Amino acid sequence: MKKFKIPSVPPTTNKCVRFPNNIIEEIENAISGKNCTFTAFVIEAVRVALENLKEDDN
């Protein structure tokens, strides 16, 4: 059995980013009714975009 470890939250920095209103609406529609925050959606989208860029470089 795997031993339970209390997870640690990675350090974060607050950044102010401006989004076009239509993008905000699309994100809010996509996450509506799901257990997902706007921030979590954006972070995952950026992670995927960065991974895609790394793959493109290889």
Count of domains forming the chain: 1
* Predicted confidence (pLDDT) per residue in 16-36, tens digit: 999 999 999 999 999 999 999
The pTM score is 0.78
Which amino acid does the sequence have at 20? P
Residue 40 lies in a domain: yes
Confidence of residue 58 (pLDDT cuts 50, 70, 90): confident
Domain assignment present for residue 12? The answer is no
Give DSSP secondary structure letters for the chain.
-PPP----PPP---------HHHHHHHHHHHTTSS--HHHHHHHHHHHHHHHHHHHH-
What residue numbers bound the domain in which 29 lies?
21-57
